[in-house]
């Protein structure tokens, strides 16, 4: 499946010291997760951030 191939290539790329340093320099952390791990992360984060947006009264214009 193309998703698995892309995931493997991205995971390999983020392990390179040059790219990892560049990503850290931007204040982020490179994580080479699987598509399923990423899906689980998004599923956990959406409700949390939905509550933050609702509690703050943020509206889309």
1-28 burial, b for 16+ CB within 10 Å, e for fewer? eeeeeebeeeeeeeeeeeeeeeeeeeee
pLDDT score recorded for residue 43: 97
Q: In this model, does residue 6 exceed pLDDT 80? A: yes
User: How many structural domains are present in the chain?
Assistant: 1
Tens of pLDDT along 40-51?
A: 999 999 999 999
pLDDT score recorded for residue 40: 95
Residue 61 lies in a domain: no
Tens of pLDDT along 10-61?
A: 888 888 889 889 999 999 988 778 889 989 999 999 999 999 999 999 998 8
Give dist(CA 23, CA 46) in Å, integer. 24
pTM of the entire predicted model: 0.61
What's 59's DSSP letter? Answer: -
pLDDT score recorded for residue 22: 92
Q: Which range of residues forms the domain containing residue 35?
A: 2-56
């Amino acid at each position: 499946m193309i998703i698995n191939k892309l995931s493997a290539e991205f995971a390999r790329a983020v392990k390179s010291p040059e790219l990892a340093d560049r990503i850290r320099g931007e204040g982020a952390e490179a994580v080479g997760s699987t598509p399923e791990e990423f899906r689980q992360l998004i599923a956990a984060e959406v409700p949390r951030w939905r509550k933050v947006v609702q509690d703050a009264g943020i509206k889309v214009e």
